[in-house]
Structure formats: C-alpha cells, structure tokens
Amino acid sequence: MKGRLVFLDLLRGWATLVMVEVHVFNAFMQTSYRGQEWFGVLNYVNGLVAPSFIFIAGFVFVIVGERKLEAFRTFGAVFWKQLGRIVLILGTGYFLHLPSFPLSRMLRESTPDSWLRFAEVDVLHCIAVGLLILFILRIVIRPQDVFGYILLVLALGTIFASPFLWDHDFSLVMPPFLAAYINGTHYSLFPLFPWLGFMLAAGFLASQYTRFRNEQREELFIKRLALVSVLMIVVSHIIPNPHDIIGAASPDARSNPWFFAERLGIVQLLLVACWFYARKRNTETSFVLDISRESLLVYTVHLLLIYGLFFGDRSLSSLYGGSLSPALSAGATLLLALLMVLLAKVWGGLKRNSPGTARITSYATIGIILLVFVAR
C-alpha cells in the first residue's frame, strides 16, 4: 500500500521544495527583476504550490482515513490523534502569524492592523479547517460513494459561490478572525472560498481512486484523470469570467471559477505525472520523499529562518530583503533547500529508529515555546 501511494509523496515533496524557492525569491530578490518575462513564468509556477499542498492534504486524508474509519467512529485514541494533528496544523498557522513575541510584548505593542494580520488565513489554516470538515463528514457519512459525491457537490458550491462572496466585508457581521476565513478582504491569502475547493475536489477524486484501485483499474483512473484535467484547462480559457455575465460577481481573478479550474487541472496533471514516474522508477527512497514526509516541519522551520526575529529584533528578510540578484537568490534557495532536506532526513530517521525519543522531543519543544511565549 505504501509503495503504491509514493506518487502522492512525490507531488508533496516537489511542492515543498518549490515552496522554499517561492519564499526565498519573494523575500530576497531585487524587485527590479519582477517585471521581466522569466519572472512571470516563475511566478505562475510558484502559484501552483499552495493548490498542490491543499489538494494533496485532502487526497491523502481520504485514502488513509479509509483504513481508520471504524476507529474514528469509536472516538478512541485514533480519533483523538487525528484531531490532535489537525489542531497542530492550525496552531502552527497561527504561531507563524504572531504579531510579536512573547505574549507580553504582543499585548503591549500590537495594533488593530497587526491583529488583522494575525487573523490572516494562510495555507495551514485552510488545510486544517478543510481536514476538520473531511474528518467530520467521513465519520457521519457511512457509504463511501455518498461521501465522495457530497464532497463533489460541496467543491462545486465552494468554487461557484466564491465570486459572489469575494468582495464583501464579512467582519461587519462576524468577528474578524472568522471573517478572514471567507475571503481575502482583510489580508487572507488562502481563504476557504475558493481554496477549500482544492481539498474537496481532491477528496472526491480520492474516493474514486480508492474504488478503481480496489477493482484493479488504477491505471484507467489515472488516464481518465489526465483527460479530464486537459479538458478543464482548455475550458478554463474559453468560458468568460462570471463578472462579465453577472455584475454581482467579483472581477477579482482569484475568485474566478475558471482561474480555479485551470490550476486544479494542472495540479491533477502533476499528480498523473508523479504516478507514472513512481511506477516506472519503482521509487522507494528519495530526498523528495524525505522532505515530503516532514513537510510541516520544513514549512515551519524555513519560514522561521527567513522571517524569524533572531537578529536584534530583525529577520534575515528585513536585513537582506530585496537585495539579491536572481543568481544569488537561486543560490540561497539551493542552500536552504539542502538544509531542509538534511533536517527532514535527520528527523525522519529519529522518528523511525527512536519514536519515543522523537515524541518526547516534539512535546518538549512545543512546551518550551509555549512557556517562553507566556512567561517571558
């Protein structure tokens, strides 16, 4: 089973490596290069990272959760472990958005605008809430086919509701930290509308993949997915923006269902490519798999290295931001990526060879951070 799902790890691993490049170039490259044609291509590729992460999170959860379904429904240790993982992802998302550190300074110096930025919904927030939705639905809905088609309906509803929700300021009718989950009015980069659609669509596809795999027709599913993906990309360039047809729809491209469909189609094709690659190469070990399986750790650590205030209340980003050439930015990306691969290998090895030590280390690290944050 593990070997047959390597293609999912490959896609997440490559997305993680590109993510490192995204943040390095955004933080350090000179802004004068952003108008060049090559950067437009790079920026488009970089824009596929978040959809890939959200998509893979949903796909993996539905497949792996199928084996744990009955355990989930007994509300025993497996249920609480899964819920704990979701809370960890959400907590990490908010931790990375803290206006300042520790708590005493945050309460003393934070402004209304910095609190809004703290409430900003990023990839981790979207993934955590999406996983919670999938978790609840899978426990409540027993038939797998019904579960899958409900996810499809919810995905379509999320995607096509987005243009009509995008421009409204929901903080006028609900707390700002909840309003941040609906659209990008107040800083949110990845609100649930439309980004949750990637996870819901992935959940539907995972339910179909499981059925085809159980029927020994896995390759047929992959080939059909490739065809559907190409059609989605083509159609997304033909059908007009909803705003051109219905004035109430937002003109913002990020809320456009066809903007979504194009990127979903590309992510699905990348998944197809990883499936064929994994089968042809019979991939079992790779630095890409190492970094994939520790993607949350890599996500957190590389952002702290770039944006953490470890240099006299200044970060590497504030010290060297916008100062590097493309070549130096590429070199910094390679260096940071190598460090993250090494971190993933070491931590992954510790978890395999000494899971007890790894568990204690994790709890101790989280406890120390919380203690320092509250008591310092």
In the chain, what are the domain boundaries?
Answer: 3-375
Neighbour-count burial of 313, counting CB atoms closer than 10 A to its CB (0-12 exposed, 13-18 middle, 19+ buried): exposed
Per-residue pLDDT 10s for the chain (376 aa) are 344 589 999 999 999 999 999 999 999 999 999 989 999 999 999 999 999 999 999 999 999 988 888 899 999 999 999 999 999 999 999 999 988 888 888 888 888 888 888 999 999 999 999 999 999 999 999 898 999 999 999 999 999 999 999 999 999 999 999 999 999 988 899 999 999 999 999 999 999 999 999 999 999 999 999 999 999 999 998 988 777 778 788 888 889 999 999 999 999 999 999 999 998 887 778 899 999 999 999 999 999 999 998 887 889 999 999 999 999 999 999 999 999 999 999 999 999 999 999 999 999 999 998 888 888 6
d(CA 177, CA 349): 38
d(CA 3, CA 7): 9
Quote the pTM value.
0.93
Paired tokens of 363: 């709890």
CB within 8 Å of 101: residues ≥ 6 apart: 309, 373
Closest by CA to 52, choosing from 245, 240, 190, 257, is: 190
d(CA 138, CA 160): 23
d(CA 276, CA 268): 13
Closest by CA to 18, choosing from 258, 364, 266, is: 266
d(CA 202, CA 52): 10
Helix H or strand E segment including 31: none
Residue type, 330: A
With tokens 């809320």, the residue in question is: 255
**232 — alpha (psi -120 to 50), left (phi > 0) or beta?**
alpha
d(CA 92, CA 94): 5
Q: Cis omega before residue 257 (within 30°)?
A: no
d(CA 266, CA 247): 29
